Amino acid sequence: MTVRNLNLVESLYADLRRRLQLSEIGPDDRLVDTDIAEAYGASRMPAREALLRLVAEGYLVGSTRGFVLPVLSPEDIAGIFELRRQLEPRAAGAAARDLTPDAAEELARSMERIHEAHAVDDLRSLIKANLAFRNAWLGCVRNRHMAATISRFMDYFQAIRLDTFSDAATRRVYVDALSALFDALTARDSLASQDRMTAFLFAAETAYLAARARRVERQASVRPGRRNNSRTTRGNEGT
């Protein structure tokens, strides 16, 4: 593969990963390599390589008609959250210790946007601010392998983040737990950050399971087909 194609694969991968993080690709979407290539003005091979990289990292699975998000079993969900509870509190403690002024400012901006979006039910803005908050504190974790692993496991749950935030009461618990974490991080209190990250993860798991249950109920009553979403790869941020 040429250098140009390698760079194109990286660009396609990065944008698709970003869309996953922003919940712009959901459980009902189907990604087809030829449509991805057309949307980017690229050939099929780089598009397929980018999709296969996402498969290798666990974000997508192959199907007979393209690539789709994996369906997490209850055992998968429990196992991933257990692993997150082993990693993220320690990482949050390290981030609080090494928090930079720039990161503290970004956390404050993100937290303000989270509260504003929550108040007006702007779920897309809430997701974007939540991602910015995450990136700000993770950026202060010196162990880059740990930070990358945490980011990957977080992203496994982004697919139904809109469903997670759609219920106001569930969202309030989530935002309150995040606010408590914010206070500990910006106070640079490592022990409190560890404790509040643990509490936040329990709140996040409860919110995710509630959203998953609502989705299962909807699918039981109406079984929609997956929609091909690859043609809207560009230009749909914030929609």
Range of weakest confidence among 66-75, 94-103, 113-122: 66-75
Among 88, 100, 80, CA closest to 181: 88
Is the pLDDT score of 116 beyond 90?
Answer: yes
Range of weakest confidence among 3-7, 87-91, 128-132, 162-166: 3-7
Higher per-residue confidence, 201 vs 224: 201
Note the pLDDT of residue 217. Answer: 84
Note the pLDDT of residue 148. Answer: 94
Is the pLDDT score of 212 beyond 90?
Answer: no
How sure is the predictor about 126, in pLDDT bands with cuts at 50, 70 and 90? very high
Domains and CATH numbers, the chain: 3-71+225-232 (1.10.10.10), 74-221 (1.20.120.530)
How sure is the predictor about 215, in pLDDT bands with cuts at 50, 70 and 90? confident
Q: Judge contact between 41 and 4, C-beta under 8 A.
A: no
Higher per-residue confidence, 181 vs 225: 181
Q: Find tokens 């210790």 and name the residue.
A: 97
Higher per-residue confidence, 63 vs 147: 147
- Compute the distance between CA of residue 203 and CA of residue 46 in angstroms, rounded to an integer: 39
Q: Judge contact between 81 and 203, C-beta under 8 A.
A: no
Q: What percent of the chain has pLDDT over 90?
A: 70
Q: For 82-114, what is each residue's pLDDT tens digit?
A: 999 999 999 999 999 999 999 999 999 999 999
- What is the pTM for the complete model shown? 0.83
Range of weakest confidence among 123-137, 138-152, 156-170: 156-170
How sure is the predictor about 225, in pLDDT bands with cuts at 50, 70 and 90? low
Most distant CA pair in the chain: distance in Å? Answer: 51
Other residues' Cβ atoms within 10 Å of the Cβ of residue 68: 19
Rg (CA), the chain: 18
DSSP the chain: --HHHHHHHHHHHHHHHHHHHTT-S-TTEEB-HHHHHHHHT--HHHHHHHHHHHHHTTS-EEETTEEEPPPPPHHHHHHHHHHHHHHHHHHHHHHHHT--HHHHHHHHHHHHHHHHHHHTT-HHHHHHHHHHHHHHHHTT-S-HHHHHHHHHHHHTTGGGHHHHHHSHHHHHHHHHHHHHHHHHHHTT-HHHHHHHHHHHHHHHHHHHHHHHHHHHHHHHH--PPPEE-GGG-SS-TT-
Please report how many Cα atoms fall inside a 13 Å half-sphere around the Cα of residue 20, on the Cβ side. 26
Whether the CA torsion 191, 102, 107, 233 is positive or negative: it is negative
- The whole-number average pLDDT for the span 160-184 is 91
Amino acid letter, residue 4 = R
Note the pLDDT of residue 49. Answer: 95
Polymer length in residues for the chain: 239
Mean pLDDT of the chain: 89
